[in-house]
Structure 1
Amino acid sequence: MADVAFVGGRVVTGTGHVIDRGTVLVRNGVIERVDDDLLVPKGVPIIEADGCWVLPGFVDTHTHIGAHEDGEGPAGADASEVSAPDMSAVRAIDGINIEDRAFRDALAGGVTTVVVKPGSGNPIGGTSVAMKTWGGRTVDEQVVKHPVGMKSALGENPKHAWGERGQLPRTRLGVALVIRKALIAAGEYAARRADAQEKGEFFARDLGKEALAAALAADLVWDQHVHRHDDIATALRIADEFNLRLVLNHGTEAHRLAAELAERDVPVIFGPVLSTRGKVETREASVNNLVALTRAGVRTAICTDHPVVPIDALVLQAAVARRAGLTWDEAISAISSVAAEIAGLDERVGALEPGRDGDVVVWSGDPLEVGSTVERVHIHGREVYRVESGAPIVADRWAGR
């Protein structure tokens, strides 16, 4: 936690407000004021941002950073535990290596918060965690929120992961059945637990059913990996049956159901935008689908699905979406304020507003222009990254510990 003031830059709050030559004041790691006529208190360090753009740290709401280390092979593959179709008891936080080089890449791309999710090899994959991209000796010291949601998958990934082994489930029908059975069992478990607590009786814990019960109570987002429109219809059906707080992840063909999604306020974490059409269910992939969703009134965020697309390319994907038809504000919000809102993190991150964490990024220019670069990154007010003489300098996470 630190005090710092960013003075004289073009301040973009992430919520549609722009202040030319504004000031962002961070006290004790939290944004205190954002204004164009602000006297910086004596003793607060000042970052002169003349000629630069000052934005909130970006938020990537669907990644496997630290749990699926690109280039590390099996040694770095900890995103999916596929020993059973229902792995609701596992937690992504237990598989994250904060020394993954991609966390440094995230800083270079202005990304200060990520949601790390289990992979999509299971009908139910486990819980996700939101964390800062730098600043702690352990994952726990970087956590923003845990757990955030329960990961579930429909479509090709879980079907192939099990069918290719000659195991169940082998079809879309079977994948949906696994999910329904698990949710029914979790609801019955929650009822028995409540009854035992009321009577003061011992009740044996089941970690998976407890996590699913939290999703049934809407304490967790139900993060549904889904591409094809018929799988999206199945996701809506299951969400209705169990009153789940549904968020679609990827949503390749979600534009086909855009009106219904907008009416029901089901958000979509779209992408990755720059990925290839590597599966049958992604053959209709197009950034134009994201634009159509947004135009229909669906709340949309953009994700990298790192390492599918490198984490530092999050802002590049927003630039591509801008070129395809999103407004400038929509593109920035999709990787800042709206992204944070969809993940339930908007009390902490995603905008330069009083009360939110002092995660501030200084850009050389408009971040949606390819030639713009990150000059400084502060998390909780503390400088964690800067460019000096053309070379990036990353803070020592162990310094002063």
Structure 2
Amino acid sequence: MILVKNAKIYTMAGDVIEKGSILLEEGKIKEIGMDIVAPFDAEVIDAEGKLVFPGMIDAHCHLGMWEDAIGFEGSDGNEMTDPITPHLRAIDAINPMDRTFKEAYEGGITTVSTGPGSANVVGGQFASIKTYGKRIDEMVVQEPSAMKVAFGENPKRVYNDKKRMPMTRMATAALLRDTLMKAKEYYNKKQEAKDDKSKAPALDMKMEAMMDVLEGKIPLKAHAHRADDIFTSIRIAKEFGVKITLEHCTEGHLIADYIANEGLPAVVGPTFGDRSKFELINKTFDTPRMLWEAGVKIAIMTDHPVIPVQNLPLCAALSAKAGLPEEEALKAITIYPAEILGIEDKVGSIEVGKDADIVIWDGHPFDIQSSVVCTIIDGSVVYKKY
């Protein structure tokens, strides 16, 4: 049991509590208030003069999939031998022992959605995980959390080099449609087999992996930078009646009203860095603000290792500098990514009953000189600066 007291608490649920306290018990937030009395056996953390936030969330990264300071041996994010690999699972590649996990929680990042890269049209299954632990099975918040699909330059480039489909945007769309059609047929046969087992289809791991998508349990996590690719991803999702989240959404500001009308969320980034390819030509920190102004729910991502995950607050701060209101920028790395990922009942805000993921800062997270002084994940102190 832990009592954090005398803190300025940003709950990200609508309240900022001056001189507040939070009682944590059995990995959950038990009580929030002004004058909580510490039980005799509680560890007491006096956060006088400090700011407390919920653990921050990166809704799109590849943490543990490309290991730090290593080449091919630690590169496990793209299986570039088949453009359709829905049966690949991030949890089979993530290495929690990689030092970037430590950098994540020391930087206040307590939950991430991590998974395959964008080499393939269908890359495989993402997982939402906590950033502290040794065994990935014990770190999972939700798995699978999404099915990665990719549009634009990346699949074209990878398979053009192999002289095989897809070498065009048409082929990328066609391969995804073909996969969804086959999955739908497989699903229908499975439904028929409930009454007549003789109609059961032959087991197909790829199609089995797509069942959660067809049943609406998880969305397509659609890598799309350019406006036309964003529209293609939306078109296909609507054709098959499946959920979708727009990932990167680099040119989202150019079509913000369309995205808002579709009622879709956008996970924006990585905006910090160079324009390394043509489809990033319109990259700007104005994108989060303009999407928000249009009424789009946004989360801000690092795409780690493109931007090291601990710099997530910096990315939000630069979005605020470009005009996104400070509170919205904070929500874009806390409660909004939790809602987009469908894990808002567990993380993203400081509320009774949620996971006890608490971060204590010595200043505002958007101040470059501020530091995390304590990180608590699932009710356990995993980092103390002093």
Residue aligning to 2:177? 180
What SS is found at the alignment partner of 1:6? strand
For 1:98, the aligned partner's letter is: P
Residue aligning to 1:129? 127
Give, in angstroms, the shift of residue 50 of structure 1: 0.3
**TM alignment of 1:113-128, pairs within 5 A:** 113-128=111-126
What SS is found at the alignment partner of 2:194? helix
Report the identity percentage.
38
What TM-score, normalized by structure 2, do the two folds share? 0.98
Does residue 89 of the first structure (1) align with residue 87 of the second (2)? yes
- Whole-angstrom CA distance in 1 between matches of 2:302 and 2:333: 10
Residue aligning to 1:218? 216
Give, in angstroms, the shift of residue 197 of structure 1: 2.3
Query: Which of 229, 250, 253 is equivalent to 1:252?
Result: 250
For 2:34, the aligned partner's letter is: D
Residues 253, 286 of structure 2: 8 Å contact kept: no
- Whole-angstrom CA distance in 1 between matches of 2:32 and 2:326: 21
CA distances 1:272-293 after superposition (whole Å, capped 9, x unpaired) = 1212110100010001011100
RMSD between aligned residues = 1.1
- Whole-angstrom CA distance in 1 between matches of 2:332 and 2:97: 27
Give, in angstroms, the shift of residue 216 of structure 1: 1.5
Residue aligning to 2:361? 363
For 2:362, the aligned partner's letter is: S
What SS is found at the alignment partner of 1:340? helix
Residue aligning to 1:280? 278
For 1:122, the aligned partner's letter is: N
Residue aligning to 2:202? 204
- Whole-angstrom CA distance in 2 between matches of 1:269 and 1:212: 22
Query: Which of 332, 343, 346 is equivalent to 2:344?
Result: 346
Matched length: 385
Residue aligning to 1:234? 232
For 1:283, the aligned partner's letter is: I
Residue aligning to 2:145? 148
Q: Which consecutive residues of structure 2, in runs of 5 or more, have no partner in the other structure? A: none
CA distances 1:195-241 after superposition (whole Å, capped 9, x unpaired) = 11222446532121122121111111110000000111101100110
What SS is found at the alignment partner of 2:274? coil
- Whole-angstrom CA distance in 1 between matches of 2:201 and 2:68: 42
CA distances 1:8-30 after superposition (whole Å, capped 9, x unpaired) = 01000123321011111111100
Query: Which of 187, 190, 193 is equivalent to 2:187?
Result: 190
CA distances 1:219-266 after superposition (whole Å, capped 9, x unpaired) = 111100000001111011001101111100000011222112212220
Give, in angstroms, the shift of residue 33 of structure 1: 1.6
Residue aligning to 1:26? 24
CA distances 1:47-67 after superposition (whole Å, capped 9, x unpaired) = 100000011110001111111
Deviates more, 1:8-17 or 1:38-47: 38-47
Query: Which of 307, 314, 333 is equivalent to 1:309?
Result: 307
- Whole-angstrom CA distance in 2 between matches of 1:128 and 1:144: 11
Residue aligning to 1:327? 325
What SS is found at the alignment partner of 2:231? helix
What TM-score, normalized by structure 1, do the two folds share? 0.94
- Whole-angstrom CA distance in 1 between matches of 2:291 and 2:184: 33
Residue aligning to 2:96? 98
For 2:158, the aligned partner's letter is: A
Residue aligning to 1:392? none
Q: Which runs of 4+ in 1 moved over 6 A?
A: none
